[in-house]
Structure 1
Amino acid sequence: MMIKYLVISIWGILLYSCSSNDNIDGPTTDSIKLSTNEIKINKNESVETITTGGNWWWFSSIKTDNSEIQYDENDVVINGDWYTVTKVTNTSFKINVEENTTNMKREFTLTLRAGNYFDSLILIQE
């Protein structure tokens, strides 16, 4: 009888410790604080500067219609077919976009990371 209570107690502890409410990595708060999450530009060549409220972040990935490329903390320049993204300071980056001569909308999603927090910026060029 005592073993039955012991087994039930152990199962209860195990189930409680595996709860999906646990936040193993710690709390996730916006430590990047992007100045905007979307930029729409016309077909002309453009340079956009984006600021952040946080100073500890890095480029995590960039996704276009054709691909998604992952980056790490050391990558400060991203070169694409029609864009370049450059980390200028710890609180800003710039996006250079070439003129769109395709007559088709182009876009990418740039994801930034700070610890276990992710934030994204969508750029759309007509």
Structure 2
Amino acid sequence: MKSPVFFALLILITSACTKSSLDGIWDDNIKLSAKEINLSAHRDSVSITTEGSWWWIDGIGLDDNWNYQLDEIDTTKDNFTIEEADFRIERIEGTAIHILMEKNETGAARVLKIALQAGDYFDAIQVTQASE
């Protein structure tokens, strides 16, 4: 026979599991000024701001190629630069992201995706660069 204490503990434990304590259900603590950006085919750039500064880059993909290595870069720092042949991503003073896309000579639009994380909150920036 189960005791009333067991049932009381069960109710207390299940009621303590609220929506805000579940993985991946955190409120937006990055607060991007823009999430989807369109750039011209020419060498072009954009600056995005964040209200939060406790975030990091979780991954980078250009046209679904997610093989950009971030192992050598501490993306939790307030200032860093990621330089590749087709783009440059720079974090400035913790709350600004400057993205530069080199001239698009591929003949097709290309899409740069930057995955961001802050605790259990996930967000992304998508930069679409037009074709010539």
Q: TM-score, normalised by structure 1?
A: 0.75
Matched AA of 1:94 = H
- Name whichever of 104-113 and 22-31 sits farther off: 22-31
**Does the Cα contact within 8 Å between 1:59 and 1:76 map onto a contact in 2?**
no
The one-letter amino acid paired with 1:113 is Q
Q: Is the 8 A contact 2:59 2:66 kept in 1?
A: no
Please give the per-residue CA displacement for 1:83-105, whole angstroms capped at 9, x wherever unaligned.
Answer: 01010111101011100011111
Match of 2:10 in 1: 13
| Structure 2 unpaired stretches of 5+ | none
Is this contact kept in 2: 1:60–1:70, CA < 8 A? no
User: CA–CA distance in 2 between the matches of 1:100 and 1:91?
Assistant: 28
Shift of the 55–22 alpha-carbon distance from structure 1 to 2, 3 Å rule, reads: closer
Q: Which structure has the greater CA radius of gyration?
A: 1
Q: CA deviation at 1:23?
A: 1.9
Q: Flag structure 1 segments of 5+ consecutive residues without an equivalent.
A: none
Q: Displacement, 1:51?
A: 0.7
- Give the fraction of aligned pairs with identical amino acids, expressed as a percent: 29
Distance 1:41 1:110, change over 3 A: same
Report the equivalent of 2:109. Answer: 105
Q: After the TM superposition, which of the residue ranges 84-93 and 67-76 deviates more from structure 2?
A: 67-76
Contact 1:57 1:114 in 2 (8 A): yes
Structure 1 residues 16 and 67: alpha-carbon distance in aligned structure 2, compared to 1, 3 A threshold: same
**Separation of aligned partners in 2, 1:66 and 1:26:** 24
